[in-house]
Structure formats: C-alpha cells, structure tokens
Amino acid sequence: MATSQQPINGNGTAVRPTHEEEEEEEENIFLFVPNLIGYGRVVLALTSLYYMPLHPRTCTALYSISCLLDALDGYAARAYEQSTKFGAVLDMVTDRCTTSCLLVFLAQAFPRWSIIFQGLISLDLASHYMHMYATLSMGGSAKSHKDVSASRSWILRQYYSNKWVLFTFCALNEVFFIALYLLSFSSPYLSPTLLADPANPSSLAPGSPAAPKPSVLFASPFSAGAMEAARANKMDSTVPWICMFVSAPIMLAKQIINVVQMKKAASWLAEGDRAARKAAGLPRKTSKKIQ
C-alpha cells in the first residue's frame, strides 16, 4: 500500500515543510471586524423598527447609534486592512433599507405628503443601484463605487472622495428624517391626533394632553387608535424643529446628488451600450430600396 512520505535529508531525518509550503488557512470574510460592526447595525436597525410606532425616544437612540456605526465600520476596515466587496454591499444595503423603513413610517404619519416620501425612497434606491451597477459593469469588478473620476462628475468626485463630506451629508440627511419622525410625536401642528376634542381647541396646544391613555380605550397597544394616542404631544418639539431646519439644506443637496448620480450612471451605461452595439455591427446597414 502506497503511503505519503515526508522528504528526508542526507542523514535520514525528516524535513518539515517551510512556512510557504504549509497550506494557508482560508480567511472568513464574514467575521471581519467591519462586517461584525455591520451585523450590529442591522440588529440595532431592526430593534429600532420594533420601537418605532410607539416609543420615539428608544427608537431614535437605537436608529442613531446604527447610523453612527456606519462611520466606525469604515474606520475599522482601513485600520485592519479588511476592506471587502461584501462589506461595501452590506453597508450600502443597510443604509438603503433603514432609511426606506423610516420614510415608510413618515409616509403613514403624514399621509398628505406620502407621495413625497415614496418619491424619496424610489430616488434613493434607484440612484444607488444604477450607480453601483454602472461601476461594476463599466469600470470592472475591482472598481469601487466611491472611485469616481472628476472628468465623469466633479460633484460626485467631491462627494465620494472626501470622507468628511460624505459623512456630513449622510448624517444630516438622516438627522432631517429623524427630526421629522420626532415631530410626528411632538408637534400637533404637523400631526394632530385623531382623538382630539374639537370642542376644546386648547387640546391642540403644544404640551397639553390631546388624548386619554391608550389602555383606557384600546385593548391592543398596537391598534391604530392607540398609536394616535401615543403620538399626541409625547415630548417637547423645540429640538426636533431646530434639527430639521438646520439639516434641511443638506437633505435637499443630498437629493440633488442622488439625481446627478442616477443621471451619470445612466449616461455611463448608455456609453457601454453604444460601444457594444457598434462592436456587434448594429444597427445593420440595409440596401436602399430601388425607386
């Protein structure tokens, strides 16, 4: 029976393989430090969604921590030399999903403006998907979606190349929507309760209770009426109003960047289509019809 043998030297002693010859252990990308932080972001975001309908303070704290960890995972990726494509996709998907979920809540909290929030969700998803797809298909799989040349788009170059600019825009964009979320609980001017007493106008004044406790009228704390009661003047609205007005210009600028990003991605994909069609001999030239 044939058996594997280690190489031996002149005196018959077995020679151990060198370090280079030893089989290297395969890295577990899923357990990289920045990816572990990403999983933590997902857990925090999901927990914040659980508290979102009735507990604005808890939801805001969890949601904000999840957003702040977005900067930490990038720092960890650079510090530990663990930047990966999986991590980049995980980060982007988490950002898009958490923001979309918050905008869905705002759409039902402010039904009159729901079409605006639906449009913002669509713009955010479409612009980032088209940008990443265009980068991978036109720039190659090794090219990062954050590596944008100035010749292609000066605005996107400034947005993605400076980490502080990117962080400021993303952070204040989230601050705007979080502030609007808190105002849905604290400002009767934006969100008057369905249980307000029409015969008592003072019930809509800031700081005054506009409805009885949910347990008085509703058996289920998650009923629509209980939600309205819980949202009535639950906190002071001064800080949310300030945060909303301060972050509003950056939020609007972020939407403009999303439009530019989508337009540039579409143009880049069209360039590739034209080149592919030309290489395939399209459109085919046909002989002119005999008059």
CATH code of 48's domain: 1.20.120
pLDDT attached to residue 3: 52
- In the numeric block, which tokens belong to residue 238? 């001064």
pLDDT attached to residue 268: 92
Give the list of residues 6+ apart from residue 220 with CB closer than 8 angstroms, or none: 226
* Reported pTM: 0.78
Q: What is the span of the domain harbouring residue 182?
A: 29-194+228-270
pLDDT attached to residue 194: 38
Task: Tell me which of 70, 73, 91, 95 is the catalytic residue.
Answer: 95
Give a yes or no: residue 56 inside a domain: yes
Q: Into how many domains does the chain fold?
A: 1
The whole-angstrom separation of Cα 241 and Cα 187 is 9
Low-confidence ranges of the chain (pLDDT < 70): 1-23, 141-142, 188, 191-234, 286-291
Give a yes or no: residue 159 inside a domain: yes
DSSP for residue 133: H
Asked if 197 is an active-site residue, the reply is: no
